[in-house]
Structure 1
Amino acid sequence: MPASTSDPLLEIADDLYALPLADFTPARDALVKEHKADKDLAAAVKGLRKASLAAWVVNLLVRRDPDQVDQVLAVGTALRDAQENLDATQLREFTKQRRQLTASVTTSARRMAREEGVKTTQSVADQVEATLTAAMLEPDAARAVRSGLLVTSLAATGLGDLDLSEAVALPEALGFSAKARPVPGPDPTQRAQLHVVPDPDADAKARAAADERLADARGVLGEAEKEHRSARRAVEKLRARTLQLQAEIDELRSRIAAVEAEVEEVDEELGEAEAVQEEAVEAVDEAQAAVDAARAARDRL
């Protein structure tokens, strides 16, 4: 989809939502003053909302690596088209692949955010991944993501019930594509100069960069270990609950066996009691017959 537009508000929004998150509000306020001669435009610019951190990370991903985002959206389209003809096994496999893809792209988005000096928590990462998942499940969510004008993260069930009224900066965002803004590469002339005049602080800078990468890696490791501990506790809790339920099942089975044995005993006693009852009925019938005969004999006298 083309990123260009003749709508000045969309052009302004595209530039604003490409900025670092901390620069959004002052830049927006400056633009309001700049366009004060056009009251309607100034009011519309003033109404642009600051994106949440998760939405900003997704917007950053869309501008830094639009090809990767387009790949995610294309896979989502293919899955939606094929879903009606898939059996349960295929659906499970595609769902697994979808989760792997969104997790991988989320990792890329977090790395881009770190390069911008922004560290994201696991909660924010979960919101980013949920937004990418929504874009794969819902066509409108895909258009919202591709606009690069998200102000909140998205979450969808795939049932077509996603409300995007508050998710994008402008209603016109759906159908708009954010302008690609890759990280500028180094100046070739500058590279030549660096070869001619070595940087005396190169080693120190390399060590500082390595220290920063190490710190980032330790941070990621810490989060991964935290998630692992949480997952392990959940597994242990569920295992304990499983053992408890299994014990209850065994106890119930034992109780059922005892009740079944008691039922058999009662059935036997019932059979005996019914036999005694039948004999008693016969005795009553015989006694009644004797009474009737005696009464008849007396009446004849």
Structure 2
Amino acid sequence: MPSAEPDAQPELVAAADRLYAGAVGDFTASRDSAAKAATAAGDKPLGARIKALRKPSLAAWAVNVLVRRESEQIDQVLELAASLRAAAESLDGDGLRTLTRQRRQLTAALTTTAGQLSREHGVRLTPAVADQVEGMLTAALLDPVAGDVVRSGLVVTAFSSTGVSELDVAAVCAVPEALGYRAAAVEAPGEPAPPVLHVVPDDGLRLEAAQEKVEDAVLGVAEAQEELDHLVSRNEKLQARRLQLQGEIDELRRRLAGLEDDVDAVDEEVDELEDAVAEAREILEVAEENLAETRAELEKLER
């Protein structure tokens, strides 16, 4: 098993390996206990580094469990991935599509295994978390650096990679300077001790099925609650928008009523002016007739 990089503190890597191999729910308590023990032993810097180790996300924890329980299979897959990356450079379009399909089959199978192993720990991966697990496994097949992060078993958060961009190791690996370290393999737990027989109204299979139904129902409730919250939020936004639009309509109606009043007033003035114009025209006609008569009388006198 490859060791950590030279600048990685062996005691820190060993402590991290134990912590990230444990149950996700126990991580914080186990980490704090390990930090106190290191400090009590006189190594305060080590205690501080252990205390700073981040709790893994559920998807990261599932990957950490997978690489420890399926250590040999993960090694084989990563070695195969390296060969496939080298071969991809010489493949045509059809060959690349075949290669992509094979990668998807591998990651899907490993994701299914991760889900099964998580259930052994009493944890059920939601579809969203399973997608994150598959995304990390895909990244490991595409990017050798991502492969080293996954194989370390010290993953703290989900990530993805196209195989082109550089992965921020410090953001996704608990001990980034330990890149190249391979998590210690963990054997599958032995067969559980036979249970003490009791008179119960159901057998183990029916109980397990009932537990699965409860888990499914809990997930269903959570998903339904999430959808309800989303719809309620949308409804509240739409109601607020409706009130805003109604206010704008009311304002426009007030402005329209005012404009209609202005139109009525202008109409009245127009009617009055039209009457005045007609009267002025009549006066003009009388004046013109008077002028014509006066000129005629003047012409007679001049003769």
**TM-score, normalized by length of structure 2?**
0.64
What residue is the counterpart of 1:145 in the other structure?
A: 150
What residue is the counterpart of 1:253 in the other structure?
A: none
| CA drift at 1:104 | 1.4
Alignment of 1:1-12 (within 5 A): 1-2=1-2, 7-12=10-15
Deviations 1:140-197 (A, max 9, x none): 111110000001112111114222121100123311111111232127xx56xx8xx9
Q: How many residues align?
A: 216
Q: Does 1:54 align with 2:59?
A: yes
| CA drift at 1:2 | 3.9
- Equivalent pair of 1:149/1:173 in contact (CA under 8 Å): no
After superposition, the CA RMSD in angstroms is: 2.8
- Equivalent pair of 1:3/1:178 in contact (CA under 8 Å): no
CA–CA separation in structure 1 for the residues paired with 2:153 and 2:164: 24
What residue is the counterpart of 2:169 in the other structure?
A: 164
Question: Which of 12, 16, 34 is equivalent to 1:13?
Answer: 16
Q: Does 1:73 align with 2:72?
A: no
Q: Which runs of 4+ in 1 moved over 6 A?
A: 3-6, 216-222
Counterparts in 2 of 1:97 and 1:216: CA distance versus 1, 3 Å? farther
Counterparts in 2 of 1:71 and 1:3: CA distance versus 1, 3 Å? same
Alignment of 1:1-301 (within 5 A): 1-2=1-2, 7-36=10-39, 37-186=42-191, 204-213=203-212
User: Unaligned regions of 5+ residues in structure 2, if any?
Assistant: 222-303
SS of aligned partner of 1:85 = coil
| CA drift at 1:71 | 2.7
Larger-gyration structure (1/2): 2
* Letter of the structure 1 residue corresponding to residue 136 of structure 2: T
- Equivalent pair of 1:130/1:154 in contact (CA under 8 Å): yes
SS of aligned partner of 1:154 = coil
Counterparts in 2 of 1:125 and 1:79: CA distance versus 1, 3 Å? same
Percent identity over the alignment is 46
| CA drift at 1:201 | 5.6
What residue is the counterpart of 2:241 in the other structure?
A: none
SS of aligned partner of 1:69 = helix
CA–CA separation in structure 2 for the residues paired with 1:14 and 1:66: 14
| CA drift at 1:211 | 3.0
SS of aligned partner of 2:171 = coil
CA–CA separation in structure 2 for the residues paired with 1:111 and 1:202: 28
